[in-house]
Every structure is written in C-alpha cells, then in structure tokens.
Structure 1
Amino acid sequence: MSSPAPRVFNAEETSQLIAFGPLRQHILEAASQYARGEIHSPDRQVLTVPGSRDGVLLSMPCTAQDICAHKLISLLPDNPAHQRPTIQGMVSVLDSATGVPLFVLDGPTVTARRTAALSMAGLQLFLEHEPRTIVIVGAGSQADGHVQAIAELYPEATVHIAARAQSWDKAQAFCERHAGLGIRLQVTDLNQLPEQFDAIITLTTAVEPVYHAPAVPGRLIIGVGAFRSHMVEIAPETVMNSLCYVDDLVGAKHEAGDYIQAKKDWSQVTTLAQAIESDIDYSRPIMFKTVGCAAWDLAAARCARAAAGL
C-alpha cells in the first residue's frame, strides 16, 4: 500500500512556515541535541556535475528520533547566463518512526533562513543586550535573509550595509529594495564604519580580509562567508584576539576559512552547544563563525512541520 504523496511547499510557502523567532529556538534546541548525539548529521557529500563548469551537487542528510531530513542542492555557476538560479534544490522530510515522506521544502529558502537564524542566535547569546546598531558586509542573497531576520526580531535596530566605492550602487539598491521591511537601513563606507556598533555580520566570498578593526569587547563579530579553507573575511589578528565560537566544530575544521587562515588553535574554539550550557564572558571580544550543517536544516524542518500542523 503506497503512502500519500508528500506536500511540496514552494519558496514563498517555505518562508512563511519558518519564521525567524521559532526557527532560532529550534536551532538552539537542535544544537544541544546534536552535541548529545541525539541528532546524526554527517559531513555533506559534494559531487561534481559532469559537463558543467564547476558545478556540484551537495547532499546533506540528517536523522533524529522524530524526523529525517535530506537537503539536496545543485550549484551550477553557468545557470544565470540562461536566466536560471545558480542554486536550486529541496529539503525532503520523512517521519522517523514510519519512514513515510511528510513534505518537501524549498532548499535555497531553508538555507538562507536557517543561516540568518543562526546569526540571530549569535546575537542573542553573545551580546549582553539587544543590538541597536548592526553592520552587514555584503548585499547578496544571504544579506536578504539577514535583514529580514533583523526586521522580525530586532525591528528597532539600525542596519548599515557596508560597501566600497565600486559596490556602492549595489548596496544602495539593496537598501531601496528592502525599504518595506520598516527598519532603518543605510549604506556606509566599509573603510569608515560607524564609531559605535554592536555587531558586524560578514556575508561575502572574499579571499582577503574585509574587516580589519581590532577586536573590541561588546562588539560581536559574526562570520558567515569564507566557507572554504582559502577564504577569509576577518583579519587574522582580530580572530586571534577574540574568544572564538563556531556552530559546528566538525565542519569548521575544513570550512571555516577565517579560523584556518588565522591558524587558530581548535582547542580554543568553543561550540554553540557549549555556549548554550555555559556562562559567556562578555568582558572579552567575541567572534562567532558559522559554517552550517544538516542539523540546522532539520531544525528548519521541525519548525515548518509545527507551523503546518503536519
């Protein structure tokens, strides 16, 4: 006897099912379960796509007692030339007890929103007070998710989109595109950042540091880009003078470019799960590097399941 076909949610529906507040809480809960071995999340598998220019297929399975989730993502750099998205894919969700497929979420939407929610978890854990001023470096799809998350969770905050002269128009267009969010958005010079700000979130694919300022207590650094070993967004000296945290230590050791390039001693890097269970020393500068893992996709799937009543 066959099971009913799982419901498939498009990008807009997926976005509506994983609001940032509940998603952040699901991620924090998943972090503790992952650390206790209650969630199984192996390293993602990367396969090249024959016939494409640097195209890859990413497979990220994850299992827990309640659900199983599998994110399958294609990344084809030639797609934009043919009016197709570079990144496409899905997150398939199954019931753990029966194996019955439950639903399918839009993969890029899940990735963007759980990545932003992870940064919001960093703001919640590693700042003594709610952020009033946030600097974002980058104006791409990850920045879209982050300003949406800030608008939902910290609507009183001012957000500066930091840009160099050659990317100023892109940053200005970004602010205009998101004017409807209702938060204060403005472009600022990357080389002349505001004198006072609570957090900086870097969202680039840089291979040279874009943030060189000294590590300062009370100013949180969240590094989201630099997801390969040769990439770097934060100056090594800034990294070395910070208390360093990471969402997933296993993945970080070969993906956290900022820490790898700084030659950070991994024994001095603390996980998100450990941070949840311990006191944070706010008197010292803090950096939170995120690399992502399938456990956060599973957290998003739980959030969507609860919202959809499935």
Structure 2
Amino acid sequence: MKPGKLLFLNEDEVRRHLHMADLIPAMEKALIDFSAGKVTQPVRSVIKVDVAAATGFLGLMPALTPDGLGLKAVTFYPSNAERGIPTHMATIFLVDPQTGEPLAIMDGRLITEMRTAAVSAAATKLLAPPESKILAILGSGVQARSHVEALQLVRQFEEIRVWGPTTKHAERFAKEIGGRALSAEEAVRGADVVVTVTSSKTPVLKGSWL
C-alpha cells in the first residue's frame, strides 16, 4: 500500500481475505504474546447508550502488539434482533506503530465473529483429548455456526449435538450442519467438548451433566 493511502475493507472484502484455518494459529500466537507480556491492552472502556429507540453499549478496545497497533469499536444492541440486523457490530482501525499513520479501516462484525471462535478452537486444540468425537453446542446463532466451523478444524467430530433456546432455530441449525437437535441435558451428557454460545440470562448448563 502506498504511503498515505488508507485501506477500507467492508464485510464482503473481509470475508474474501480472512480464513478460519489461518486465523486459529494467529490467535494462538496472540495468546502466547499476551501471556508473555508482549501486548499492551487496556481494559475495555464501555459507554451505555440509552436513547428513545433502544438501549445499547459502545465498547472501545485498543491494543499494541508485536505485530501492530489498532483499535476496535464494537456496539451491542440486543433489540437489533427484532429489527433483523446483527446485535453486534464493529469497526477496526489499524495504524502504523512506527509513525501513527492510519493504515486501514475494516468492518469488524465478521472479524469479531470469527476471532471469538478461533480463540475457542485454539483452546480446544490444546485442552480437549485428541480422540474427542462428540461436540455439544448450546446455542444456535451466529457464534454457534462460527464455532462449529472452527472446532472442526482442530478435532474430527463424528457427532454434533445442538440445543438452542428457540427449538425451531436449533432444529434448523442442526439440519444445516448435519447435527441433531436435543435438549440441553441430552446434548451435554457424554459429549467430549461442550460450547456455550447463547446470550441467555439464565443458566443453560448444569455441572451435574458433565
């Protein structure tokens, strides 16, 4: 990229260039760098937005790593689900750590979706038994779909069980991924890997099922 030329990437362009198989090892490196004290990452600052149309939140997350400097601004509006638009949206801003020159502005919704699942996959790769065959997904939304994609890259699951707070959604999602829609308890009992990806405000997983 020429000096002074700012790169803009919308979600479709991000989707073309960002691949889960590449993102998982990138997240492994990011976690290692963070644990080694090589990352400067202040605690996320959050602003509550209470307006006539809805209540939401704006979070700001800057970070300096050995590979770059940037900021993510993410919004969370639960009522967006009723409007048929994503509840989470984000924008990522990258700058040159040597000069402070702006480098790129990217749509961050998909990046956030994929990054979350990639971190789970990195953890699963290290913590789950290599012979793990049964995956239980508690949730049937965006993160559920992304987690199935990511986790299947680090373990060879023979069975995927799905539970969701809305039975119709869970059944549709299970059909899409070749899984089975079950009750939460049925999904969890005997599973090798359990993923909770629901925004439920009440507990959906009991320790006695594990």
TM-score calculated relative to the size of structure 1: 0.60
Aligned to 1:306: none
Per-residue deviation, residues 245-270 of structure 1 (Å, max 9, x unmatched): xxxxxxxxxxxxxxxxxxxxxxxxxx
Is the contact between residue 88 and residue 107 of structure 1 (CA under 8 Å) also seen in structure 2?
Answer: yes
Matches within 5 A, 1:86-105: 86-105=87-106
Aligned to 1:13: 13
Matches within 5 A, 1:115-264: 115-154=116-155, 156-163=157-164, 167-176=166-175, 178-179=176-177, 184-193=178-187, 196-214=190-208
The 3-state SS of whatever aligns with 2:22 is helix
- Code of the residue aligned with 2:21 in structure 1: it is G
What's the CA shift for 1:33? Answer: 1.4
What's the CA shift for 1:101? Answer: 2.2
Is the contact between residue 6 and residue 102 of structure 2 (CA under 8 Å) also seen in structure 1?
Answer: yes
- Divergent runs of 4+, >6 A: none
Aligned-residue RMSD, C-alpha? 2.5
What's the CA shift for 1:111? Answer: 1.2
The 3-state SS of whatever aligns with 2:199 is coil
The 3-state SS of whatever aligns with 1:99 is coil
Q: Distance in 1 between matches of 2:156 and 2:127?
A: 19
Q: Distance in 1 between matches of 2:191 and 2:81?
A: 36
Q: Distance in 2 between matches of 1:82 and 1:123?
A: 34
The number of aligned residues is 208
Change beyond 3 A, Cα 1:105–1:115: same
Is the contact between residue 188 and residue 194 of structure 2 (CA under 8 Å) also seen in structure 1?
Answer: no
The answer to whether residue 10 in structure 2 is matched with residue 4 in structure 1 is: no
Aligned to 2:42: 42
What's the CA shift for 1:208? Answer: 3.1
Is the contact between residue 124 and residue 130 of structure 1 (CA under 8 Å) also seen in structure 2?
Answer: no
Aligned to 1:265: none
- Code of the residue aligned with 1:70 in structure 2: it is L
Is the contact between residue 44 and residue 59 of structure 2 (CA under 8 Å) also seen in structure 1?
Answer: yes
The 3-state SS of whatever aligns with 1:200 is strand
Aligned to 1:278: none
Q: Distance in 1 between matches of 2:40 and 2:209?
A: 35
List gaps (5 residues or longer) in structure 2. none
What's the CA shift for 1:136? Answer: 0.3
- Code of the residue aligned with 1:25 in structure 2: it is P
TM-score calculated relative to the size of structure 2: 0.85
Is the contact between residue 123 and residue 131 of structure 1 (CA under 8 Å) also seen in structure 2?
Answer: no
- Code of the residue aligned with 1:19 in structure 2: it is H
Change beyond 3 A, Cα 1:89–1:163: closer
Is the contact between residue 66 and residue 95 of structure 1 (CA under 8 Å) also seen in structure 2?
Answer: no
Change beyond 3 A, Cα 1:70–1:198: same
The 3-state SS of whatever aligns with 2:42 is coil
Is the contact between residue 95 and residue 104 of structure 2 (CA under 8 Å) also seen in structure 1?
Answer: yes
- Code of the residue aligned with 2:86 in structure 1: it is P
- Code of the residue aligned with 1:199 in structure 2: it is V
Aligned to 1:22: 22
Change beyond 3 A, Cα 1:151–1:36: closer
What's the CA shift for 1:62? Answer: 0.4
Deviates further, 204-213 or 109-118: 204-213
Q: Distance in 2 between matches of 1:31 and 1:128?
A: 20
Is the contact between residue 139 and residue 170 of structure 1 (CA under 8 Å) also seen in structure 2?
Answer: yes
Q: Distance in 2 between matches of 1:68 and 1:97?
A: 9
